[in-house]
Structure 1
Amino acid sequence: MPRIKSFDENVVLQKAMNLFWKKGFYATSMQDLVTHLQINRASIYDTYGDKMQLFLQAFAHYRKTSLSDLKTFLYSQNSVKEGFKKLFLSIAEEVETDKDSKGCFVVNTTTELTAHDDVIKSIIQDNQRMFISLFLDHLKTGVENGEISPEKDLESLALFLFTLNNGLKVLNRTNTSKKDLRKMVENALTILD
Protein backbone atom coordinates (compact mmCIF):
# COMPACT_ATOMS: atom_id res chain seq x y z
CA MET A 1 0.00 0.00 0.00
CA PRO A 2 1.45 3.42 -0.98
CA ARG A 3 2.33 5.82 1.80
CA ILE A 4 0.22 8.94 2.17
CA LYS A 5 2.24 12.14 2.11
CA SER A 6 2.15 14.03 5.37
CA PHE A 7 3.11 17.37 3.84
CA ASP A 8 1.63 19.91 1.47
CA GLU A 9 3.63 19.76 -1.76
CA ASN A 10 2.96 23.41 -2.59
CA VAL A 11 4.07 24.62 0.83
CA VAL A 12 7.26 22.58 0.56
CA LEU A 13 7.85 23.91 -2.97
CA GLN A 14 7.47 27.47 -1.67
CA LYS A 15 9.99 26.75 1.10
CA ALA A 16 12.42 25.23 -1.41
CA MET A 17 12.01 28.28 -3.66
CA ASN A 18 12.87 30.60 -0.77
CA LEU A 19 15.93 28.57 0.18
CA PHE A 20 17.28 28.36 -3.38
CA TRP A 21 16.51 32.06 -3.83
CA LYS A 22 18.46 32.99 -0.72
CA LYS A 23 21.44 30.63 -1.09
CA GLY A 24 21.58 29.79 -4.79
CA PHE A 25 21.62 26.37 -6.41
CA TYR A 26 25.20 25.33 -5.71
CA ALA A 27 25.33 26.57 -2.12
CA THR A 28 22.14 24.67 -1.25
CA SER A 29 22.95 21.09 -0.28
CA MET A 30 20.51 18.20 -0.07
CA GLN A 31 20.99 18.31 3.70
CA ASP A 32 20.03 22.00 3.66
CA LEU A 33 16.85 21.04 1.82
CA VAL A 34 16.04 18.20 4.24
CA THR A 35 16.54 20.51 7.23
CA HIS A 36 14.72 23.52 5.75
CA LEU A 37 11.81 21.61 4.21
CA GLN A 38 11.45 19.35 7.26
CA ILE A 39 10.89 16.25 5.16
CA ASN A 40 13.23 13.34 4.62
CA ARG A 41 15.50 12.87 1.65
CA ALA A 42 13.44 9.99 0.24
CA SER A 43 10.30 12.13 0.23
CA ILE A 44 12.12 14.87 -1.64
CA TYR A 45 13.34 12.43 -4.29
CA ASP A 46 9.95 10.65 -4.54
CA THR A 47 7.96 13.88 -4.85
CA TYR A 48 10.21 16.28 -6.71
CA GLY A 49 13.09 14.27 -8.15
CA ASP A 50 16.71 15.21 -7.62
CA LYS A 51 18.00 18.58 -6.46
CA MET A 52 17.96 20.04 -9.98
CA GLN A 53 14.38 18.88 -10.61
CA LEU A 54 13.28 20.46 -7.33
CA PHE A 55 15.13 23.63 -8.25
CA LEU A 56 13.46 23.76 -11.69
CA GLN A 57 10.02 23.34 -10.14
CA ALA A 58 10.71 26.04 -7.54
CA PHE A 59 12.12 28.33 -10.22
CA ALA A 60 9.08 27.78 -12.47
CA HIS A 61 6.81 28.63 -9.54
CA TYR A 62 8.70 31.88 -8.92
CA ARG A 63 8.64 32.91 -12.59
CA LYS A 64 4.94 32.18 -13.00
CA THR A 65 4.03 34.10 -9.84
CA SER A 66 6.29 37.05 -10.69
CA LEU A 67 4.93 37.42 -14.22
CA SER A 68 1.32 37.16 -13.03
CA ASP A 69 1.91 39.73 -10.27
CA LEU A 70 3.63 42.10 -12.70
CA LYS A 71 0.83 41.82 -15.24
CA THR A 72 -1.81 42.46 -12.56
CA PHE A 73 0.14 45.44 -11.24
CA LEU A 74 0.74 47.12 -14.61
CA TYR A 75 -2.80 46.71 -15.87
CA SER A 76 -4.29 47.99 -12.61
CA GLN A 77 -2.65 51.39 -13.14
CA ASN A 78 -4.57 54.31 -14.67
CA SER A 79 -1.49 55.57 -16.52
CA VAL A 80 1.09 53.53 -18.42
CA LYS A 81 3.90 55.95 -17.59
CA GLU A 82 2.92 56.16 -13.93
CA GLY A 83 2.60 52.37 -13.82
CA PHE A 84 6.17 51.93 -15.00
CA LYS A 85 7.34 54.62 -12.60
CA LYS A 86 5.61 52.96 -9.64
CA LEU A 87 7.00 49.59 -10.66
CA PHE A 88 10.61 50.74 -10.83
CA LEU A 89 10.36 52.92 -7.73
CA SER A 90 8.99 49.91 -5.84
CA ILE A 91 12.07 47.95 -6.91
CA ALA A 92 14.23 50.82 -5.64
CA GLU A 93 12.41 50.56 -2.29
CA GLU A 94 13.43 46.90 -2.00
CA VAL A 95 16.95 48.01 -1.08
CA GLU A 96 15.54 48.67 2.40
CA THR A 97 12.96 45.88 2.62
CA ASP A 98 15.07 42.97 1.31
CA LYS A 99 16.90 42.33 4.59
CA ASP A 100 18.52 39.13 3.29
CA SER A 101 19.72 40.89 0.11
CA LYS A 102 18.15 38.06 -1.90
CA GLY A 103 17.56 40.25 -4.92
CA CYS A 104 15.67 38.65 -7.79
CA PHE A 105 15.65 34.86 -8.10
CA VAL A 106 15.77 35.07 -11.91
CA VAL A 107 18.68 37.52 -11.94
CA ASN A 108 20.53 35.43 -9.35
CA THR A 109 20.00 32.26 -11.38
CA THR A 110 21.08 34.00 -14.57
CA THR A 111 24.43 34.93 -13.07
CA GLU A 112 24.93 31.60 -11.29
CA LEU A 113 23.83 28.99 -13.80
CA THR A 114 23.44 30.15 -17.41
CA ALA A 115 27.12 29.84 -18.28
CA HIS A 116 27.08 26.14 -17.35
CA ASP A 117 23.57 24.90 -18.11
CA ASP A 118 21.81 25.14 -21.47
CA VAL A 119 18.44 24.15 -19.98
CA ILE A 120 18.60 27.04 -17.50
CA LYS A 121 19.82 29.37 -20.25
CA SER A 122 16.79 28.45 -22.37
CA ILE A 123 14.44 29.02 -19.42
CA ILE A 124 16.02 32.41 -18.75
CA GLN A 125 15.67 33.39 -22.42
CA ASP A 126 12.01 32.35 -22.37
CA ASN A 127 11.46 34.39 -19.20
CA GLN A 128 13.09 37.40 -20.88
CA ARG A 129 10.82 37.06 -23.91
CA MET A 130 7.72 36.92 -21.69
CA PHE A 131 8.72 40.02 -19.69
CA ILE A 132 9.65 42.00 -22.81
CA SER A 133 6.37 40.97 -24.44
CA LEU A 134 4.44 42.15 -21.40
CA PHE A 135 6.31 45.47 -21.36
CA LEU A 136 5.74 45.84 -25.12
CA ASP A 137 1.99 45.22 -24.79
CA HIS A 138 1.82 47.77 -22.00
CA LEU A 139 3.75 50.32 -24.09
CA LYS A 140 1.29 49.75 -26.95
CA THR A 141 -1.50 50.60 -24.53
CA GLY A 142 0.38 53.83 -23.82
CA VAL A 143 0.46 54.63 -27.55
CA GLU A 144 -3.26 53.85 -27.87
CA ASN A 145 -4.19 56.18 -25.02
CA GLY A 146 -1.91 58.96 -26.23
CA GLU A 147 0.65 58.80 -23.42
CA ILE A 148 3.50 57.54 -25.60
CA SER A 149 4.39 58.80 -29.05
CA PRO A 150 3.68 56.37 -31.88
CA GLU A 151 7.08 57.41 -33.26
CA LYS A 152 8.87 55.57 -30.44
CA ASP A 153 10.60 52.25 -31.16
CA LEU A 154 8.47 50.23 -28.75
CA GLU A 155 10.45 47.00 -29.08
CA SER A 156 13.68 48.77 -28.11
CA LEU A 157 11.87 50.52 -25.26
CA ALA A 158 10.53 47.20 -23.97
CA LEU A 159 14.04 45.74 -23.99
CA PHE A 160 15.35 48.87 -22.25
CA LEU A 161 12.69 48.61 -19.54
CA PHE A 162 13.48 44.93 -19.03
CA THR A 163 17.17 45.85 -18.67
CA LEU A 164 16.30 48.63 -16.21
CA ASN A 165 14.18 46.18 -14.22
CA ASN A 166 17.03 43.68 -13.93
CA GLY A 167 19.69 46.34 -13.37
CA LEU A 168 17.77 47.76 -10.42
CA LYS A 169 17.48 44.30 -8.94
CA VAL A 170 21.23 43.76 -9.24
CA LEU A 171 21.95 47.13 -7.65
CA ASN A 172 19.66 46.24 -4.75
CA ARG A 173 22.02 43.38 -3.90
CA THR A 174 24.86 45.87 -3.56
CA ASN A 175 22.85 48.06 -1.19
CA THR A 176 22.99 51.07 -3.50
CA SER A 177 21.22 53.95 -1.77
CA LYS A 178 17.50 54.30 -2.31
CA LYS A 179 18.05 57.96 -3.18
CA ASP A 180 20.46 57.05 -6.01
CA LEU A 181 18.13 54.34 -7.31
CA ARG A 182 15.17 56.75 -7.31
CA LYS A 183 17.21 59.33 -9.27
CA MET A 184 18.20 56.68 -11.78
CA VAL A 185 14.56 55.64 -12.26
CA GLU A 186 13.45 59.24 -12.76
CA ASN A 187 16.19 59.85 -15.35
CA ALA A 188 15.72 56.53 -17.14
CA LEU A 189 11.98 56.95 -17.56
CA THR A 190 12.40 60.25 -19.41
CA ILE A 191 12.91 57.96 -22.41
CA LEU A 192 9.12 57.49 -22.47
CA ASP A 193 8.50 61.26 -22.97
Structure 2
Amino acid sequence: MKRSFQIDMPKVETFDKNLVIKQATEVFHDKGYNATSMQDLVDATGLNRSSIYNSFENKHNLFLECLNSYQEFYKEQLNDKLLKASNALEAIDNLFELYLNDIIKEKNNKGCLIVNCKSEMANHDKPITQFLVNNQNLMIDILEDIVDRGQNELLINKKMTAKAYALYLYSSIQGFRMTSILTNNKQELQSIIKTIKQTLI
Protein backbone atom coordinates (compact mmCIF):
# COMPACT_ATOMS: atom_id res chain seq x y z
CA MET A 1 0.00 0.00 0.00
CA LYS A 2 1.42 3.32 -1.00
CA ARG A 3 1.69 5.97 1.64
CA SER A 4 0.80 9.50 0.72
CA PHE A 5 2.77 12.35 2.16
CA GLN A 6 1.28 15.78 2.56
CA ILE A 7 3.60 18.75 2.70
CA ASP A 8 2.31 21.73 4.62
CA MET A 9 2.93 24.76 2.47
CA PRO A 10 3.60 28.07 4.20
CA LYS A 11 0.67 30.44 4.26
CA VAL A 12 1.03 33.08 1.59
CA GLU A 13 -0.24 36.55 2.41
CA THR A 14 -2.40 37.83 -0.40
CA PHE A 15 -2.65 41.37 0.92
CA ASP A 16 -0.38 44.36 1.41
CA LYS A 17 0.87 43.88 4.95
CA ASN A 18 2.23 47.42 5.22
CA LEU A 19 -1.14 48.83 4.19
CA VAL A 20 -2.94 46.67 6.74
CA ILE A 21 -0.57 47.85 9.48
CA LYS A 22 -1.18 51.45 8.42
CA GLN A 23 -4.96 50.94 8.53
CA ALA A 24 -4.77 49.21 11.91
CA THR A 25 -2.54 51.99 13.24
CA GLU A 26 -5.24 54.52 12.43
CA VAL A 27 -7.76 52.54 14.46
CA PHE A 28 -5.45 52.13 17.46
CA HIS A 29 -4.57 55.82 17.24
CA ASP A 30 -8.24 56.81 17.19
CA LYS A 31 -9.52 54.50 19.91
CA GLY A 32 -6.53 53.34 21.95
CA TYR A 33 -5.53 49.71 22.39
CA ASN A 34 -8.08 48.58 24.95
CA ALA A 35 -11.08 50.16 23.21
CA THR A 36 -10.17 48.67 19.83
CA SER A 37 -12.04 45.45 19.07
CA MET A 38 -11.19 42.77 16.53
CA GLN A 39 -14.29 43.85 14.64
CA ASP A 40 -12.88 47.39 14.42
CA LEU A 41 -9.73 45.95 12.84
CA VAL A 42 -11.75 43.75 10.47
CA ASP A 43 -13.77 46.78 9.35
CA ALA A 44 -10.69 48.98 8.89
CA THR A 45 -8.50 46.49 7.04
CA GLY A 46 -11.12 44.61 5.05
CA LEU A 47 -9.58 41.33 6.22
CA ASN A 48 -11.54 38.61 7.96
CA ARG A 49 -10.60 37.51 11.46
CA SER A 50 -8.82 34.35 10.32
CA SER A 51 -6.53 36.36 8.01
CA ILE A 52 -5.62 38.70 10.86
CA TYR A 53 -4.96 35.80 13.23
CA ASN A 54 -2.95 33.88 10.62
CA SER A 55 -0.74 36.88 9.89
CA PHE A 56 -0.40 38.51 13.32
CA GLU A 57 -1.65 35.80 15.74
CA ASN A 58 -3.56 38.26 17.90
CA LYS A 59 -4.47 41.90 18.47
CA HIS A 60 -1.50 42.40 20.78
CA ASN A 61 1.06 41.37 18.16
CA LEU A 62 -0.64 43.52 15.55
CA PHE A 63 -0.47 46.49 17.91
CA LEU A 64 3.25 45.93 18.47
CA GLU A 65 3.78 45.89 14.70
CA CYS A 66 1.83 49.14 14.46
CA LEU A 67 3.98 50.73 17.17
CA ASN A 68 7.18 49.65 15.43
CA SER A 69 5.94 50.94 12.08
CA TYR A 70 4.92 54.26 13.65
CA GLN A 71 8.33 54.54 15.33
CA GLU A 72 10.20 53.81 12.10
CA PHE A 73 8.18 56.41 10.22
CA TYR A 74 9.07 59.11 12.75
CA LYS A 75 12.72 58.02 12.93
CA GLU A 76 13.00 58.56 9.18
CA GLN A 77 11.27 61.94 9.42
CA LEU A 78 13.44 62.95 12.36
CA ASN A 79 16.69 61.86 10.73
CA ASP A 80 15.79 63.86 7.63
CA LYS A 81 15.12 66.97 9.73
CA LEU A 82 18.32 66.59 11.76
CA LEU A 83 20.48 66.10 8.68
CA LYS A 84 19.26 69.44 7.33
CA ALA A 85 20.25 71.34 10.50
CA SER A 86 23.40 73.47 10.36
CA ASN A 87 23.72 73.63 14.17
CA ALA A 88 22.21 72.19 17.34
CA LEU A 89 19.60 74.90 17.90
CA GLU A 90 18.41 74.52 14.34
CA ALA A 91 18.18 70.77 14.94
CA ILE A 92 15.92 71.41 17.95
CA ASP A 93 13.86 73.85 15.87
CA ASN A 94 13.48 71.25 13.14
CA LEU A 95 12.47 68.60 15.66
CA PHE A 96 9.70 70.74 17.11
CA GLU A 97 8.69 71.86 13.62
CA LEU A 98 8.12 68.21 12.71
CA TYR A 99 5.77 67.73 15.66
CA LEU A 100 4.09 71.12 15.23
CA ASN A 101 3.29 70.51 11.56
CA ASP A 102 1.75 67.15 12.42
CA ILE A 103 -0.38 68.75 15.13
CA ILE A 104 -1.62 71.52 12.84
CA LYS A 105 -2.47 69.03 10.08
CA GLU A 106 -4.25 66.64 12.44
CA LYS A 107 -7.96 67.48 12.54
CA ASN A 108 -8.92 65.18 15.40
CA ASN A 109 -6.04 66.08 17.74
CA LYS A 110 -5.26 62.45 18.52
CA GLY A 111 -1.82 63.16 19.95
CA CYS A 112 1.17 60.87 19.52
CA LEU A 113 0.39 57.14 19.34
CA ILE A 114 3.44 56.25 21.45
CA VAL A 115 2.77 58.92 24.10
CA ASN A 116 -0.87 57.82 24.25
CA CYS A 117 0.23 54.20 24.59
CA LYS A 118 2.53 55.14 27.45
CA SER A 119 -0.32 56.71 29.41
CA GLU A 120 -2.62 53.75 28.67
CA MET A 121 -0.37 50.71 28.98
CA ALA A 122 3.03 51.47 30.53
CA ASN A 123 3.90 49.02 33.34
CA HIS A 124 0.80 46.91 32.57
CA ASP A 125 2.21 44.92 29.66
CA LYS A 126 5.83 43.73 29.54
CA PRO A 127 6.41 43.69 25.75
CA ILE A 128 4.74 47.09 25.36
CA THR A 129 6.67 48.51 28.31
CA GLN A 130 9.93 47.24 26.81
CA PHE A 131 9.09 48.90 23.50
CA LEU A 132 8.35 52.17 25.30
CA VAL A 133 11.59 52.00 27.30
CA ASN A 134 13.62 51.35 24.14
CA ASN A 135 11.88 54.20 22.32
CA GLN A 136 12.47 56.56 25.24
CA ASN A 137 16.16 55.65 25.50
CA LEU A 138 16.58 56.12 21.75
CA MET A 139 15.06 59.60 21.85
CA ILE A 140 17.06 60.65 24.92
CA ASP A 141 20.29 59.50 23.25
CA ILE A 142 19.46 61.53 20.14
CA LEU A 143 18.67 64.60 22.23
CA GLU A 144 21.83 64.19 24.29
CA ASP A 145 23.92 64.15 21.11
CA ILE A 146 22.18 67.32 19.92
CA VAL A 147 22.72 69.13 23.23
CA ASP A 148 26.35 67.99 23.45
CA ARG A 149 26.90 69.39 19.97
CA GLY A 150 25.20 72.64 20.95
CA GLN A 151 27.35 73.03 24.04
CA ASN A 152 30.49 72.46 21.98
CA GLU A 153 29.22 75.05 19.50
CA LEU A 154 28.65 77.45 22.45
CA LEU A 155 24.99 77.76 21.44
CA ILE A 156 23.62 75.91 24.47
CA ASN A 157 24.67 76.84 27.99
CA LYS A 158 26.54 74.47 30.29
CA LYS A 159 24.53 75.11 33.45
CA MET A 160 23.49 71.47 33.23
CA THR A 161 24.98 68.39 31.60
CA ALA A 162 23.98 67.30 28.11
CA LYS A 163 22.18 64.30 29.64
CA ALA A 164 20.20 66.50 32.05
CA TYR A 165 19.12 68.81 29.23
CA ALA A 166 18.25 65.80 27.07
CA LEU A 167 15.94 64.53 29.82
CA TYR A 168 14.44 68.01 30.10
CA LEU A 169 13.83 68.18 26.35
CA TYR A 170 12.37 64.70 26.26
CA SER A 171 9.89 65.40 29.06
CA SER A 172 9.06 68.74 27.41
CA ILE A 173 8.32 67.02 24.10
CA GLN A 174 6.08 64.50 25.87
CA GLY A 175 4.17 67.32 27.56
CA PHE A 176 4.01 69.24 24.29
CA ARG A 177 2.43 66.28 22.52
CA MET A 178 -0.10 65.76 25.33
CA THR A 179 -0.99 69.47 25.39
CA SER A 180 -1.63 69.38 21.65
CA ILE A 181 -4.50 66.92 22.16
CA LEU A 182 -6.61 69.75 23.58
CA THR A 183 -5.27 72.64 21.52
CA ASN A 184 -3.77 73.02 18.06
CA ASN A 185 -3.49 76.80 18.28
CA LYS A 186 -0.26 77.44 16.40
CA GLN A 187 0.65 80.64 18.27
CA GLU A 188 0.19 79.01 21.67
CA LEU A 189 2.21 75.96 20.69
CA GLN A 190 5.00 78.13 19.25
CA SER A 191 5.06 80.02 22.54
CA ILE A 192 5.60 76.74 24.39
CA ILE A 193 8.47 75.84 22.07
CA LYS A 194 10.08 79.25 22.58
CA THR A 195 9.90 78.88 26.36
CA ILE A 196 11.44 75.41 26.21
CA LYS A 197 14.34 76.70 24.10
CA GLN A 198 14.99 79.69 26.38
CA THR A 199 16.15 77.33 29.12
CA LEU A 200 18.94 76.08 26.88
CA ILE A 201 20.30 79.39 25.65
Tell me the distance in 1 between the aligned counterparts of 2:179 and 2:68.
24
**1:13 correspondence with 2:16:** no
Structure of larger gyration radius: 2
- Point out the structure with the larger helix share: 1
**1:137 correspondence with 2:145:** yes
**1:163 correspondence with 2:171:** yes
* Structure 1 position 189, deviation (Å): 0.4
Q: Mind listing any 5+ residue stretches in structure 2 that lack a counterpart?
A: 1-8
The aligned residue for residue 38 of structure 1 is: 46
**1:25 correspondence with 2:13:** no
The aligned residue for residue 6 of structure 2 is: none
- Tell me the amino acid that sits aligned with residue 129 of structure 2: K
Q: Mind listing any 5+ residue stretches in structure 1 that lack a counterpart?
A: none
**1:187 correspondence with 2:195:** yes
TM-score, L = length of structure 1: 0.90
Residue-pair matches, total: 193
Tell me if the contact between 1:67 and 1:131 (Cα under 8 Å) persists in the aligned partners. no
* Structure 1 position 71, deviation (Å): 2.5
Tell me the distance in 1 between the aligned counterparts of 2:184 and 2:174.
14
Relative to structure 1, the CA distance from residue 180 to residue 16 in structure 2 (aligned partners, 3 Å threshold; closer, same or farther) is: same
- Tell me the amino acid that sits aligned with residue 60 of structure 2: M
- Report the aligned-residue RMSD: 1.9
* Structure 1 position 166, deviation (Å): 1.1
The aligned residue for residue 104 of structure 2 is: 96
Tell me if the contact between 2:100 and 2:189 (Cα under 8 Å) persists in the aligned partners. yes
Query: For structure 1, which segment, 171-180 or 146-155, has the greater mean C-alpha deviation from structure 2 after superposition?
Result: 146-155
Residue from 93, 107, 111 that aligns with 2:115: 107
TM-score, L = length of structure 2: 0.87
SS of the aligned residue for 1:192 comes to: coil
**1:78 correspondence with 2:95:** no
The aligned residue for residue 55 of structure 1 is: 63
Percent identical residues: 29
